[in-house]
Chain A
Amino acid sequence: MTAFVLVNISLFAILGATALAITRMRALYEATMLTALFSLVTGSLFVLLDAVDVAFTEAAVGVGISTVLLLGVLSLTRSREAVTPRRRRLPAALVVLFTGGTLGYAAQDLPPFGSATTPVRDHPVTETYLYQSQQDMGIPNTVTSVLASYRGLDTLGELVVVFTAGVTVLLLLGPLTRRNRPVKRDLVLADYRVLRVVSGVLMPFILLFALYVLFHGDYGAGGGFQAGVIFASGFVLYGLVFGLDRVQQVLPQRVLWVLIPLGLLLFMGLGVATVLLGGSFLDYDTLRPDDPAAGQRLGILLVETAIGLTVATVMTSVFFSFTGRGASR
């Protein structure tokens, strides 16, 4: 127990030091790399707090995709920050002290950390999620069953947000708003033989791993969101090394535009289908009336695939938009 506390506190100390270094740093490239470190350490903390699915997502998203996006933006803009004037610091410090003080004071009312009798634990829904789910659908990973079935409507809402964000980035930076300038080929990572060979060899394994994460999410950490991000990172790696033209031969922009709404339509269509079969929205029991648990597993698999499809295509298209902007500048 004490070892647990010690490890927790040292990881938090690393996080705090990283965050303070980020605030003081005026070079934004370095700040971006430290943000990736911050995400990685947070991932370890998530594992300590038993949230393996979350740790997986944070590692894939925080260290992979968001770092690539930040670096892409820095290459399009300026990577040095102006000095923060003193007149901006004092009000910010006052607001932060006041808010932090209020939060710290209010935290006294929270249940003790790790207690087994918190409102979160005592709610009857805990019993349903942890034990009833084994009869309802027989999937060991309860995070997957809650995500895709018990709170499927929530997840549909989140997927709509991801879809909307993807469309917004396309509208802001996509080919429709592109300014025509001669394409300059200055950065060719494919000239480095090691990078070229290694990324070529890695590519199929990354995609295979994404499929494994997608279909194995019922039994271990993983699922549609993680698989989508990993799938996208395969294309991001390929695009970084071989350039946008090559990766768009494999995955043309028009195909992406068809695939982005397809996942969302599959999710919603499944909901409508369950209503037509006589159940409520996203009630997968009706898919197999003779064997509700099998129906639930089928529904969860379809929903995870839909999530993976939309997340992967949105992330890839966002990356294409940012790098395409760079190529046309």
Chain B
Amino acid sequence: MIGSHYVYWLTFALMMIGLYVVISHGNLIKKLIGLSLFQVAVFLFYISLGKVDGGTAPIITEGTQTYSHPLPHVLILTAIVVGVATLAVGLALVVRLFESYGSLEEDEILQRDISDRDTTDRDGVAS
């Protein structure tokens, strides 16, 4: 059991470290870093499902009979490029948030939002 499933459990451990960073840390850049750790662990899990003992890379050559499955490779190599594209969108949002709030901490940004809302409410009542 352990000998045949260890790769899956190790990828799950990496995934959980990434997930912990996403949930526990308040810094938005750190959250994005955690998200990419999680993402890479999912990629590893996918690729490990296509591996065959004694196989080689799925590039057909003479004298080789066993190949690992090419489909997970296709899915993951496109996913990596899409991953960096979406990371760029997340980082662009972070830059805009920093420009308007002057902070990258989730708590401080939420606090600013609440205090802004309170002042506008009070102004509304006063007028």
| Shortest Cβ distance from residue B13 to the other chain A in the assembled complex, whole angstroms | 6
The contact of B17 among A19, A62, A134, by CB within 8 Å, is A19
A139's nearest neighbour on chain B, judged by CB, is B60
Over the window 87-107 of chain B, the binary record of Cβ atoms lying under 8 Å from chain A Cβ atoms (1 yes, 0 no) is 111011111101000011100
Instruction: Please determine whether A19 and B96 come into contact, CB atoms closer than 8 angstroms.
Output: no
Residues of A in contact (CB 8 Å), total 104
Contact A89/B24 with A96-B16, A120-B50, A140-B59 known, Cβ cut-off 8 Å: yes
The contact of B71 among A20, A104, A129, by CB within 8 Å, is A129
Which chain B residues border A23 with CB–CB below 8 Å? 17, 20-21, 25, 34
Which chain A residues border B40 with CB–CB below 8 Å? 38-39, 42, 58, 62
Instruction: Please determine whether B69 and A143 come into contact, CB atoms closer than 8 angstroms.
Output: no
Cα distance A20–B56 in the bound complex, in angstroms: 32
Interface residues in B1-38 (C-beta closer than 8 Å to A): 1, 3-10, 12-21, 23-27, 29-30, 32-34, 36-37
The contact of A114 among B24, B43, B53, B60, by CB within 8 Å, is B53
B103's nearest neighbour on chain A, judged by CB, is A78
Which chain A residues border B21 with CB–CB below 8 Å? 22-23
Tell me if A229 is interfacial: C-beta within 8 Å of chain B: yes
Instruction: Please determine whether B43 and A54 come into contact, CB atoms closer than 8 angstroms.
Output: yes
The contact of B50 among A51, A99, A223, A229, by CB within 8 Å, is A51
Contact A165/B77 with A19-B37, A73-B91, A110-B5 known, Cβ cut-off 8 Å: no
Instruction: Please determine whether A220 and B59 come into contact, CB atoms closer than 8 angstroms.
Output: yes
Contact A107/B9 with A114-B53, A158-B81 known, Cβ cut-off 8 Å: yes
| Shortest Cβ distance from residue B112 to the other chain A in the assembled complex, whole angstroms | 14
Instruction: Please determine whether A110 and B80 come into contact, CB atoms closer than 8 angstroms.
Output: no
Tell me if A286 is interfacial: C-beta within 8 Å of chain B: no
A100's nearest neighbour on chain B, judged by CB, is B16
Instruction: Please determine whether A158 and B57 come into contact, CB atoms closer than 8 angstroms.
Output: no
| Shortest Cβ distance from residue A122 to the other chain B in the assembled complex, whole angstroms | 11
Which chain B residues border A28 with CB–CB below 8 Å? 27, 29-30, 33
Chain B interface, DSSP helix/strand/loop, else mixed? helix
Interface residues in B61-83 (C-beta closer than 8 Å to A): 61, 66-83
The contact of A221 among B9, B57, B66, B98, by CB within 8 Å, is B57
Residues of B in contact (CB 8 Å), total 82
Contact A81/B68 with A16-B13, A61-B84, A103-B15 known, Cβ cut-off 8 Å: no
A15's nearest neighbour on chain B, judged by CB, is B14
Instruction: Please determine whether B37 and A35 come into contact, CB atoms closer than 8 angstroms.
Output: yes
Contact A50/B58 with A61-B84, A96-B19, A143-B74 known, Cβ cut-off 8 Å: yes
Instruction: Please determine whether B9 and A104 come into contact, CB atoms closer than 8 angstroms.
Output: yes
The contact of B70 among A9, A92, A146, by CB within 8 Å, is A146
Known pairs A58-B40, A107-B5; list 10 more (Cβ under 8 Å). A9-B10, A22-B37, A50-B57, A61-B80, A61-B84, A70-B91, A77-B104, A96-B20, A147-B77, A318-B85
Interface CB pairs A-B, < 8 A, 14 = A9-B6, A16-B17, A35-B33, A51-B77, A62-B40, A78-B98, A95-B23, A120-B49, A162-B85, A165-B82, A169-B92, A172-B92, A225-B78, A322-B91
